[in-house]
Amino acid sequence: MVFVIDSTISMDPYIERTREAIAKVYAQIAKENLGRQVKFGLVAFRSSTQAVPGLEYVTKMYADPNTVKDGADFLAKAADLKQAKVSSKSFNEDSYAGVMQAIDKVDWSPFGARYVVLITDAGALDGDDKLSGTGLNAEQVRIEASNPGVAIYTLHLKTAAGAKDHAKAEAQYQALSTYTGTNTSLYYPVDAGDLNAFGSKVDALASAITGQVKAAYMGDDAIGSAMNSKPAPAEQKMLDDAALIGHAMRLAYLGEKTGSQAPPVFQAWIADRDPIKQNVPTTDVRVLLTKSQLSDLSDVLKKILDAANEGMISPSEMFERLRSVAATMGTDPNQLKQNGTAKLSELGVLGEYLDDLPYHSEVLNLDEDTWKSWDGLAQEKFIRTLSTKLRHYQVYNADVDRWVPLAEGSDARDNVYPVPLEMMP
């Protein structure tokens, strides 16, 4: 379990209470000889040091769970963590940078259960914010966390200072902390930033997950085993969620250890939603793209983005530019509709990537009349969405570990990347 904690001004009491909770758990771990089974880490985050050099760092790894020997070692590594001495430029902080450091810089492979616990009293810098260190939004960070199978808990301190930011921050962290495997939201607000309520939640969460590890290690059925302490009703939902996520992680761990795999190719049908809880998806759909295809897709998306930016100045200019793009890509100009109801899908600029996919593309369904009817905020939101997806394609391109060959000995240029369906334009 890696704690990712906001270390900006006002956070010292919560930092100290988190250390206290981990010290308690390590003491219990030592009593039960589980030191090799449970490890904690600690990452701190602030905001852009280019904007405010006095912040000293954007993110900092204080304790890597792979190198922490015991509770005393953890506390020694975390002893220097203090809140910042200066304020950030924005009330929002770079929460996503902190989470991404934990995801990217920790080797999660030795661990069967993988958790990040985000603690902050502020909203997150969105990917299109010039202060953002990642260029990613909540959904994209959640997708990156799903690659190593990390569940992200968020303890959101709803202090009075951030009252105007609470609604937006809650939406961000609800999206970030939805665990895809069970469609469970792991977002837990702490009203008024109450330190006692926060401490109870941290104690309960750390103890619950440790209890699951103990039960699994002893060969017991850990479902519900963390509930024996009769928690207060305020913590019950969090512990129920922890038990559910823990069960899902144990199944994944057992599948990995036994080498369980789906056939490389098969034809079948499947319900894409749980028959009872129809808001729960049963599949995680990926689109396999080669580097060349990903590059082409990025180029086309960049052209659409450039046209959209032009379209904010002159609405008719956007589709005129896209018709020119389509013509250069081989589409017969005479076949391109000149009226305002022609959708992007009819221009042929993205069809080969999205045709026949179980996916309704906001981009392809856009027509000129709809674009012109949108106000500036709606157009900006469309542009921001495309921009963050384009930046995420750069992450995929650089992610050397997840490019996979479709056949043994095949040309490396034919390797494919499993792009999540929701990350298609």
What is the domain range of residue 406? 286-423
pTM (predicted TM-score): 0.81
In a domain, 270, yes or no: no
Please tell me the total count of domains within the chain. Answer: 2
In a domain, 149, yes or no: yes
CA distance 229 to 65: 27
- Helices 291-313 and 376-398: crossing angle in degrees, nearest 10, is 160
Tokens of 229: 């302490």
Residue 315 and residue 166 share a domain? no
Alpha-carbon torsion (188, 126, 78, 101), positive or negative: positive
Residue 310 and residue 243 share a domain? no
In a domain, 277, yes or no: no
> How many Cβ atoms from other residues are within 10 Å of residue 180's Cβ?
17
Residue 212 and residue 302 share a domain? no
Quick one: 423 exposed, middle or buried, by C-beta within 10 A (0-12, 13-18, 19+)? Answer: middle
Residue 356 and residue 315 share a domain? yes
Residue 161 and residue 121 share a domain? yes
What's the pLDDT score for residue 11? 96
Domain end (from 238, 258, 278):
258
What's the pLDDT score for residue 91? 93
In a domain, 294, yes or no: yes
In a domain, 402, yes or no: yes
In a domain, 82, yes or no: yes
In a domain, 275, yes or no: no
What's the pLDDT score for residue 219? 61
Straight-line distance from the first to the last Cα atom of the chain, in angstroms, rounded to the nearest whole number: 34
Residue 76 and residue 40 share a domain? yes
- CATH number for position 250: 3.40.50.410
Residue 323 and residue 186 share a domain? no
CA distance 79 to 15: 10
What's the pLDDT score for residue 232? 58
Query: From the first residue on, what is the mean pLDDT of each consecutive set of 10 residues in the chain (425 residues)?
Result: 95 94 87 85 97 97 95 94 96 97 95 93 95 95 94 94 94 94 88 92 86 71 41 75 86 81 75 82 87 90 87 78 65 47 64 72 82 89 90 92 89 93 88
Residue 137 and residue 58 share a domain? yes
What's the pLDDT score for residue 332? 46
What's the pLDDT score for residue 187? 95
What's the pLDDT score for residue 228? 41
In a domain, 54, yes or no: yes
Cα-based distances in Å from 114 to 9, 77, 106, 240? 29, 21, 11, 17
Residue 389 and residue 249 share a domain? no
Residue 249 and residue 292 share a domain? no
Residue 158 and residue 62 share a domain? yes
Residue 155 and residue 39 share a domain? yes
